[in-house]
């Protein structure tokens, strides 16, 4: 009886926050934008043609090739559009761009971004098609990513190219997202060691990557030989001790995903802690964070729509795991509000350019992709819309 009442209460709470916002309408908007992009891209074999970002006040996509860390988000977004609209054009296009990424499964690992590159693209492709050749690419890439693991430290070396500069093993918070590739490969392939690597990376990160208030450092440096933590610093945040918005959103998403695979309650508890400090400090107006929560330039600085998209997507998943119906409903309500803000005329690109969203901030300290449309913002936005659609049980 108690269970029935709790379930009824949860359904009422969820429905009370669901009025009016229609995710399918926004998915259809994204599809329209993507069709414009598809029509504007150069043909294959004539240089880079994978969309990455559109600078503020520009209309043309900055195009990259398969080696770029953002190369997998475009085909990932196409797969989601295929799922959300059933339009076969998106499947054909996703397959076209996936093909370009295949060398990543055979080449030496350049950095940790292999997860973003291959799991967003081939991961979604395999989920929707069960094509065994996709699975092979994913499994081979997971083995490649694992070559960057340092067992002494207990984490993956995120940026091999920066070891000389830092004089140390480095791990960035973003790296926690790429554990999904390893967890998935361990579950679906033969290399069970990948599970241990991913789990240990998450445990080490949980121990060393956060301040007492559960806000994240962007980068942690470790002594390569002893494995000891040296210090936490920033790379894309305002300062070493501030909360870089997208970094914290990677943490929210990452630890939620770690719980999905491990069912270790420590990860669920931690995912809630890193979420709660983020939610507590968000601007009330739109729930879209400034690019860094502690930059003294607030409110005269740029927001980061991509961090909001990542967080909204993560919150829908996290809400599935928490038991308390009020907490569940709170996470869903926040995620929905984030999606509403992102779907407003302030944040959608509409006629301004062909991306889905405006106002993401890539790397503010070097003035890179500031107040821009960035492909990973679009990817997590469409992912979150689909999760919300599923929650509403819409066909
Ligand atoms: N992974 C790099 C970034 O979030 O900008």
Q: Give the CATH number, domain containing residue 80.
A: 1.50.10.10
Pocket probe for ligand 1: among 73, 254, 362, 367, the residue whose CB has the most ligand atoms within 8 Å is 362
Residue 175 alpha carbon to ligand 1 centre in Å: 9
Is 236 near ligand 1, meaning CB less than 6 Å away?
yes
Atom of ligand 1 nearest to the CA of 306: 4
Pocket probe for ligand 1: among 69, 111, 380, the residue whose CB has the most ligand atoms within 8 Å is 69
Number of domains forming the structure of the chain:
1
Which residue is associated with the tokens 């690419």? Answer: 137
Does the residue 82 lie in any domain? yes
Is 361 near ligand 1, meaning CB less than 6 Å away?
no
Does the residue 277 lie in any domain? yes
Is 389 near ligand 1, meaning CB less than 6 Å away?
no
Give exposure, 200-220, as e/b (b: 16+ Cβ within 10 Å): bbbbbbbebbbeeebbbbbbb
Supply the residue whose CA is at minimum distance from atom 1 of ligand 1. 174
Whether the link from the prior residue into 299 is cis, omega within 30° of 0, is yes
Range of the domain at 267: 20-394
Is 113 part of the annotated catalytic residue set?
yes
Does the residue 11 lie in any domain? no
Is 212 part of the annotated catalytic residue set?
no
Is 174 near ligand 1, meaning CB less than 6 Å away?
yes
pLDDT for 11: 47
Local mean pLDDT, 10-residue blocks, the chain (395 residues): 48 52 98 98 97 98 98 98 98 98 98 98 98 98 98 98 97 98 98 98 98 98 98 98 98 99 98 98 94 98 98 98 98 98 98 98 98 99 98 88
Does the residue 5 lie in any domain? no
Does the residue 100 lie in any domain? yes
Does the residue 157 lie in any domain? yes
Is 304 near ligand 1, meaning CB less than 6 Å away?
no
Does the residue 15 lie in any domain? no
Does the residue 57 lie in any domain? yes
pTM of the model: 0.95
User: Which residues make Cβ contacts (< 8 Å) with residue 333, sequence separation at least 6?
Assistant: 17
Residue 179 alpha carbon to ligand 1 centre in Å: 15
Supply the residue whose CA is at minimum distance from atom 5 of ligand 1. 362
Q: What is the dihedral of CA 367, 368, 372, 375, to 10 degrees?
A: -160
pLDDT for 19: 57
Residue 187 alpha carbon to ligand 1 centre in Å: 26
DSSP codes of every residue in 354-377: SSSB--B-SBGGGTBSTTBEEHHH
């Amino acid at each position: 009886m108690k269970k029935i009442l709790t379930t009824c209460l949860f359904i009422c709470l969820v429905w009370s926050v669901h009025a009016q916002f229609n995710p399918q309408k926004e998915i259809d908007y994204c599809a329209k934008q993507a069709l414009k992009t598809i029509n504007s891209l150069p043909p294959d074999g004539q240089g880079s043609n994978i969309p990455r970002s559109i600078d503020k006040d520009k209309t043309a996509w900055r195009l990259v090739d398969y080696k770029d860390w953002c190369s997998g988000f475009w085909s990932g977004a196409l797969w989601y559009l295929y799922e959300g609209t059933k339009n076969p054009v998106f499947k054909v296009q996703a397959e076209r761009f996936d093909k370009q990424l295949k060398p990543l499964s055979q080449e030496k690992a350049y950095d940790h971004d292999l997860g973003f590159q291959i799991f967003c693209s081939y991961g979604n492709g395999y989920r929707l098609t069960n094509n065994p050749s996709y699975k092979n690419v994913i499994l081979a890439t997971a083995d490649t990513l694992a070559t960057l693991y340092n067992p002494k430290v207990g984490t993956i070396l995120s940026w091999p190219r920066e070891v000389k500069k830092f004089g140390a093993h480095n791990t960035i918070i973003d790296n926690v997202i790429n554990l999904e590739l390893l967890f998935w490969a361990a579950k679906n392939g033969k290399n069970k060691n990948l599970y241990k690597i991913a789990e240990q990376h998450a445990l080490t990160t949980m121990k060393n990557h956060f301040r007492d208030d559960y806000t994240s450092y962007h980068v942690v440096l470790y002594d390569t030989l002893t494995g000891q933590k040296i210090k936490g610093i920033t790379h894309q945040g305002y300062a070493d001790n501030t909360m870089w918005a997208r970094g914290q959103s990677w943490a929210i998403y990452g630890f939620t995903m770690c719980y999905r695979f491990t069912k270790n309650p420590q990860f669920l508890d931690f995912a809630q802690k890193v979420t709660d400090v983020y939610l507590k400090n968000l601007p009330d107006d739109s729930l879209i964070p400034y690019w860094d929560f502690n930059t003294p330039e607030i409110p005269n600085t740029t927001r980061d729509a991509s961090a909001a998209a990542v967080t909204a997507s993560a919150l829908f998943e996290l809400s599935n795991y928490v038991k308390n119906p009020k907490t569940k409903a709170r996470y869903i309500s926040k995620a929905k509000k984030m999606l509403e803000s992102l779907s407003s005329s302030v944040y959608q690109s509409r006629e301004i350019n062909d991306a889905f969203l405006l106002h993401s901030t890539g790397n503010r300290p070097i003035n890179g992709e500031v107040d821009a449309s960035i492909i990973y913002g679009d990817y997590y936005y469409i992912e979150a819309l689909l999760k919300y659609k599923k929650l509403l049980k819409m066909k």
